[in-house]
Structure 1
Amino acid sequence: MQTFDVLLGEVVVGQLGRVQSGKVLFRFTEEYRQLPYRPVLGQHFEDNLLKTYSGVREELPAFFANLVPEGALRELLLYSLELTEGDDLQLLAALGHDLPGAVRIRPSQATTNLLDATAEPNGAVIETGVADEEAVFRFSLAGVQMKFSLLKSNEKLLLPTHNQQGDWIVKFDSDIYPGLVANEFATMEWARAAGFEVPECQVRPVSELPAELLSRVAPTGNVYLIKRYDRQGTIRIHQEDLAQVAGLRPSLKYEQWKYETCARVIRAICGVEGYEEFIRRLVFMVASGNTDAHLKNWSLLYPDGKRPVLTPLYDQVAVVAWPPPVASMKIEWALKFAGTKNLFHIDETTFERLAVLSGGDPTQIKRIVIEMLERLAESWKVGRIMELMPPKHVEALFNYWQRVPLLRTDFLQRVQMIY
């Protein structure tokens, strides 16, 4: 019988395994619970470290379900590792050395099985295999977009080998969303110019990718590279996204929480500084037309293992650059915002309502919104966005700004005055 140790860096925090009923269970160790300076695995666990956590039916518990990839990357990894769809515990175990943040999964080295019959009736732990150690791809990244974790050594891009971890993420252009690489790079550079903390980003020719990778995915054109903020050399820095904080599976990343819920939770966990930064990022997402800011695109980082802060900004794309086939009367956000999802209804009063709903000061929030819009208008030029963004995407943004109450007056006039 086999269980898996769950580690944060080098600290064993608990055991994960599937019992005879088919359920996957997770329990913290007594040693972890008694640590005088205990690193935090996830905010969702903090209220009850004695509980046995389980997934729905035979699924992983929600926190761990958010550690395995979705979409095209998932399909590629299942094929590469010769695994079958539906057994996420086996997939997590196979990728367990290179997961998001500081979490690691390995076959248990403990002498005591925490997932015995005391955890659940008929709770014997059943055997779970681990995939071939020689597989080419052995990493996990969240999200549905095709992406890979790479090492960069003297500007050369390499695939991590067994027991190595990637320190850069590479993303590709898309037939469905043409110009995606240039769009994301331009949007991220706009954020950097506006004063947000943004990881180092680059656009590189696809020919610079490792040959083993090119033989599997055959991309064309350029690729987008972003430095991982959860890696510093060989050191892993723990992170969790808001879907994990909420205890929701990745399939529910667009449901149940609203932006005011996110704001309220971030205020409670990260304090006023984190709360106001969250508001600034919301303003940027309205200005950039990023309609896909779901729960997995917001994350907490644990630099000291215990006290969370917002991660650097990531996954910022001007989604409105790809309008629907028929001109729409609304463009909807991923989550509800103070009673609406329609970006064409967002104005200063919407942010004031969000402040009231999330426990903030409406006057202070309005001041932040105005200052942020001024900064974004100025940084549009400083960041050379007109040069970096595909011309059709720039045109789509200008058209979008004219339809959003928050943007169509002072903000749009400032941008136009610059040019």
Structure 2
Amino acid sequence: MNDFKNINKLIIYKNLDPAGILQRTPQGCEFHLYPDYIKTSKLPYFSYCIPNNSPNILISGDNLPPFFAGLLPEGRRLNALISKVKTSSDDLFSLFAAVGTDCIGDIYVGDPLPAKIKEQPKLDEVNFYAYFEALLDPSNSILDNNSLAGVQEKISASMISFPLNIARKNKSYILKLNPKDKNNLIQNELHCLQLAKKCGFTVPKAKIVIDKDGNYGLLIERFDRINQQKLHQEDACQFLNRYPADKYRISINQIADALLHITNAPQLEILNLLCQYAFSYLICNGDLHAKNISLQTLEDGIITLTPLYDLICTAIYSDFRMAIKIDGRDDNIKRKTFITFAERYNISKKAINSAIDTLLERFIRHHECLYLIEMPEKKKNLLNQMISRRVNDLV
């Protein structure tokens, strides 16, 4: 294992270009962009919250700016990384040095200490869950240096050799696994993604894959990669310049305000944001927090909301309220709330009503796939009651 604690300076790349320097200071850290990068950049920003004309960023107390902290994993994967690096949980700089060479989006660390490449196990030779636990084991020198943000148990699919009929060579994938306390989570997510697509949303391609012992994983195509080219992408914590710990404290109102200033067609994006929120309300997704809403820059330079991702029905796990609020509400959200919100951003009542009508019509027609998720009959009856109530809320 490389000694990431003794790395004091990181070269930060944006796509193929060295963009700046991130370095430790006695008080925290400092980030500045290279003058040559600023001169040659085709875009006016390094990130949505760091324009090219931004002064040097000085951070005291924490040793990583919020944008870069948002690229780190969370949950068990973060705890395992802390143990492997042998550092403290607040030494974010060392953690980023360890796994920042392949992040979500187009910003990453130029690898200061290249790790030894280990041969990938083949699909018919690997047990997903044993392999995941091995990656977490502090005594194991294998390090998944793909920094996949989020709490869910997942690994970069590049750590496993998949046959071409499952994973195409010019695509990038994430492999999601069931946590021990939720053995139906990937089935849950797959049904929610399929329902979202039937309701008119763009979603990533996803399929169930099976390991050598018959265990299931969910293989999801990454949408921040197109023919292996990196697209710029940021979640709402990042573009609001907030640390991941704030992901439940940010409101839809704050996200909409940011879309107003960042995106090319703000009214269309805010309308899409409201539809995404309404869909999560209907499927009882209490995990739509600020890190599960993202923007990306497409190849033509257009900044838009990403496809929907990390969709689950949390009512199955007795989590009923929305993760973030809209106009101060996280339950009993009526159509009037959406209309009032939309009109505040110069979105007509006709436009928001039409969008909700279309969503409801499609949802009512297709939502029974949610009952295919394995759950006790009592939970199924409760879910049916909740969905009926929430449909009535939006009628």
Q: CA deviation at 1:156?
A: 6.0
Matched, 1:87 2:91: yes
Q: Which amino acid aligns with 1:35?
A: T
Indicate how the Cα distance of structure 1 residues 266 and 259 shifts in structure 2: closer, same or farther if over 3 A, else same: same
What does residue 386 of structure 2 align with? 400
SS at match of 1:54: strand
In 2, distance between residues paired with 1:154 and 1:39? 39
Gapped regions of structure 2 (runs ≥ 5): 1-6, 118-141
Shift of 1:56: 4.0
Counterpart in the other structure of 1:126? none
1:347 matched to 2:357: no
Select 1:369's aligned residue among 356, 364, 387: 356
Superposition deviation, residue 2 in structure 1: 4.8
SS at match of 1:190: helix
Shift of 1:265: 2.3
User: Residues of 2 paired with 1:359 and 1:191: CA distance?
Assistant: 26
Equivalent residue, structure 2, for 1:172:
177
| Contact preservation (8 Å) 2:174, 2:222 | yes
1 CA distance for matches of 2:185 and 2:69? Answer: 27
**Among residues 252, 257, 261, which one is paired with 1:259 in the alignment?**
252
Q: Percent identity?
A: 24
| 1:182-214 Cα shifts (integer Å, max 9, x gaps) | 111111110111121111111222437xxxxxx
CA distance in 2, matches of 1:297, 1:27: 28
Could you tell me how far 1:378 is from its partner in structure 2? Answer: 1.9
Which residue identity lines up with residue 66 of structure 2 in the other structure?
Answer: A
Greater Rg, structure 1 or structure 2? 1
Q: Which of 275, 278, 281 is residue 280 of structure 1 equivalent to? A: 275
| Cα separation, 1, equivalents of 2:215 and 2:381 | 22
Structure 1 residues 369 and 391, CA gap change in structure 2 (3 angstroms): farther
Determine the structure 2 residue equivalent to 1:186. Answer: 191
Name the aligned partner's letter for residue 239 of structure 1: Q
Assess, with a 3 A threshold, how the Cα gap between structure 1 residues 157 and 396 changes in structure 2: closer, same or farther: farther
1:236–1:361 CA distance, 2 compared to 1 (3 A): same
Q: How far apart are 1:81 and its partner, in Å?
A: 5.0
Please point out which of 14, 18, 32 is paired with 1:8. 14
Question: Could you tell me the TM-score, scaled by structure 1's length?
Answer: 0.77
Out of 204, 208, 216, the residue aligned to residue 199 of structure 1 is 204
What is the CA-CA distance between 1:55 and the residue it aligns to? 3.1
Whether 1:380 aligns to 2:390 is no
Decide which of 40, 44, 63 is 2:67's aligned counterpart: 63
Q: 2:146 aligns with which of 139, 142, 147?
A: 139
> CA offsets per residue over residues 67-106 of structure 1, 9 Å max, x none?
1111111123344455554322122122222111111212
Per-residue CA deviation, residues 367-396 of structure 1 (Å, 9 max, x unaligned), is: 211221112112336xx4444565656434
Q: What is the distance in 2 between the residues matched to 1:409 and 1:334?
A: 18
Report if the CA contact (8 A) 2:237-2:243 is conserved. Answer: yes
Shift of 1:339: 2.6
Looking at structure 1, the residues matched to 234 and 300 of structure 2 have their Cα atoms a distance apart, in angstroms, of: 12
1:154 equivalent in alignment to 2:177:
no
The Cα shift of 1:136 comes to: 3.6
Aligned residues: 359
Question: What is the CA-CA distance between 1:176 and the residue it aligns to?
Answer: 2.7
User: What code does the residue aligned with 1:177 have?
Assistant: K
Q: CA deviation at 1:247?
A: 0.3
Q: Which residue pairs with 1:243 in the alignment?
A: 237
Structure 1 residues 268 and 2: CA distance shift in structure 2, 3 A: closer
Q: 1:77 to 1:30 in 2, by over 3 A?
A: same
Offset, 1:131:
8.1
Q: 1:22-101 maps to which residues of 2 (within 5 A)? A: 22-35=27-40, 37-38=42-43, 40-46=45-51, 49-80=53-84, 85-101=89-105
Call closer, same or farther: CA 1:346–1:321 in 2, change over 3 Å: same
Matched, 1:316 2:311: yes
Instruction: Give, as a single letter, the amino acid of the residue that structure 2 aligns with 1:338.
Output: D
Structure 1 portions without partners, runs of 5+: 109-129, 159-163, 209-219, 325-330, 412-419
1:346–1:84: structure 2 CA closer, same or farther, 3 Å change rule?
closer
Pairwise CA RMSD: 2.8
Whether the 8 Å CA contact 1:98–1:165 is kept in 2: the answer is no
Q: Secondary structure at the match of 1:333?
A: coil
Distance (whole Å) between structure 1 residues aligned to residue 153 and residue 274 of structure 2: 29
Change (3 A) 1:107 1:394: same
Q: Take 2:166 and 2:370, find their aligned partners in 1: how far apart are those partners?
A: 27
> 1:197 and 1:236, CA in 2 relative to 1: closer, same or farther beyond 3 A?
same
Q: Is contact 1:5-1:12 (8 Å) kept?
A: yes
Q: What TM-score do you get using the length of structure 2 for normalisation?
A: 0.82
CA displacement at 1:410 relative to structure 2:
8.4
